[in-house]
Chains A and B, each alone.
Chain A
Amino acid sequence: MQCRELREIADSYLSDELIVETNHDVISHLEQCDDCRRELAARRELNSRLRAAFINAPENQMRPEFADRLGIQLHEQALGKRSVPVVTRQRTLWLALAACLLLAAGLGLVVVRHRMSLQPVVHEVARYDQTPTYSPELNPGMPVNLVKIELAKSAAGDHQDCAVHFALAEKPIDLEVAGRKYDPVYINLTKAVLSQGNTPLDAELVEAHSCVFEGRRFAHIVLRYHGHLVSLLVTETDRTGETNGAPSQTLAQQQVIACSQFDGYQVSCFQTARHAVFVVSDLPEGENLSLARALAPSLYAHVTHTESAA
């Protein structure tokens, strides 16, 4: 056995997963080779180090009170003292969140109706406290309100509540199902993202679904990019001026990426005739924009092709 061969199977040797004969070959080689012995010792040491570091990492520890509660609950279940499964904390949170949203929606409706009766018209953009940052140097010639602030803000909010905190009022559904039910653009959208010829290799697909945030439905594809969660969101824009001047397709394809920032999230976006596409993350502005630009061509092609077929 050569050193190179040994190092290729060294991990299986360390995991005790080799057949007896190969194991014997490894041992024979190790008896005569100092370098491989050292290398195996180093790998074994690294494995131990990794295990200890991971097990002892403070962020990986279970809360003692949870462990105690869990033990008691399971014991009671074993003794038949609980006939109904315990509602978990997460589900409780969902129920509480849903109840709060219902209450807030009801109150909001009352307030809005009251205000509308007092104030006839308020300029839409002026309502927002958070004025988006805009980078003309990154987007030469881009109109600031290419995609309305409200829409970009919703995209940032959806990213935060859905991809980061899993805290949506309505349960997300499968993207393909949503495509058949709500918007054909969602069908094969994941494939369009994955088939990017120029997608950065280290962008990992984490999740793809359709979710609703503040009453707006999105196709939501979550990527992990440079250790950050990145949301790619596609939503249909209505034809009542919501997107305020859709660009021609050629223009859109070439340079339509705008930047905003909400709650610490970067939002890059472009739009087609009937859809707005957002890339949202906590990456630095330039990096978020680069990723959006890398994803844009095949996404744009997919969305516009589906729009024209519909």
Chain B
Amino acid sequence: MFDSASKAGSQVEREAHWKTFETEAMPYAIGLYRVALWLTRNHAEAEDLLQETLTEALTSFHRFVLGTNCRAWLVTIMYHMQSKRRRSLSRLQLVGDAEERIAETVAFVTPTPQNVTDEEVLAALESLPRAFQEVVILADIEELSYKEIAAAINVPVGTVMSRISRGRKLLRGSLAKYANSHGFIRSAAQRISDSTENQ
């Protein structure tokens, strides 16, 4: 009798545990899949990574503090799972100097282009070095804060801030080429240039 009651109680608790997880974590599965896909560049691997991440999150859900950002918590778990999956020479730790140099070559102020297509926006994002793509995706698409990104990818907040700034600058620069080719931003560029000179 005791065992039966205990088991029934346990089942109720488990169901409640699942309901909370379902409410808090599962809505982020689609966004997490995008991050997984970006990390792995492969749909089958992205599915595996997402499954492993959510399985781990469910097991560790008692550690999640309700009211904090569940998406950031899940992204952090995903990065941890991915680093376990991949070999010790992590791709993201290896990129660095060359990309910093690329970013430095971008014009000081690039006017933000308009009238570009979705395909051009995505192509511009894809053209960014991976370290910059990563923070732009986490900040602008998955809407994580600088601090949350820093915790997830394990770099200082200052690095995140610098990469986001440079990544967006590169993105604008890349899109400006498209826009320029269409003749869209010539007047805007001129206006910015004029106003800078006047100051």
Knowing A49-B118, A166-B42, A204-B129 are in contact, say whether A15-B99 is a contact too (CB < 8 A): no
- A50 and B125 contact, CB distance less than 8 A: yes
Is the CB–CB distance between A50 and B121 below 8 Å? yes
Query: Which of A12, A42, A47, A166 contacts B165, CB < 8 Å?
Result: A12
When A70-B29, A204-B98 are in contact, do A79 and B11 touch as well, CB less than 8 Å? yes
Q: Which residues of A contact B70 (CB under 8 A)?
A: none
* Chain B, Cβ-Cβ closest to A91: B48
A227 touches B58 (CB 8 A): no
Beyond A2-B199, A3-B195, A75-B18, is A90–B109 a contact (Cβ under 8 Å)? no
Residues from chain A with Cβ under 8 Å of B29 in the complex: 62, 67, 70
Residue of A nearest to B7 (CB): A80
**How far apart sit A265 and B31, CA to CA, in the bound complex (Å)?**
34
Taking a contact as CB atoms under 8 Å apart, the answer to whether A15 and B139 are in contact is: yes
CA distance A203 to B101 in the complex (A): 12
A88 at the interface (CB under 8 A from B): yes
User: Chain B 121-164 against A: per-residue CB contact (8 Å), 1 yes, 0 no?
Assistant: 11001110110000011011100011000000000000001001
- A151-159, A169-177, A248-256, A290-298: which lies at the B interface? A169-177
Which of B's residues lie within 8 Å of A, judged by CB?
Answer: 10-11, 14-15, 17-18, 21-22, 26, 29-30, 33-34, 37, 42-45, 47-48, 50-52, 54-55, 58, 87-89, 91, 94-95, 98-99, 101-102, 108-109, 111-114, 116, 118-119, 121-122, 125-127, 129-130, 136-137, 139-141, 145-146, 161, 164-165, 168, 171-172, 175, 191-192, 195-196, 199
A89 and B145 CA atoms in complex are apart in Å by 33
Main secondary structure of the interface of B (DSSP, over half): helix
A54–B141 CB distance below 8 A:
yes
Subset of 22 A-B contacts with CB under 8 Å: A11-B168, A15-B145, A17-B161, A35-B191, A35-B192, A35-B195, A42-B112, A46-B113, A46-B171, A51-B140, A53-B122, A60-B33, A60-B37, A74-B18, A77-B58, A78-B17, A79-B15, A89-B47, A172-B87, A205-B94, A208-B89, A227-B126
Report B-chain residues with C-beta under 8 Å of the C-beta of A67: 29-30
Q: Is the CB of A70 within 8 A of B102?
A: no
Query: Which B residues are in CB contact (< 8 Å) with A2?
Result: 199
- A187-199 Cβ-contact flags toward B at 8 Å (1 or 0): 0001000000001
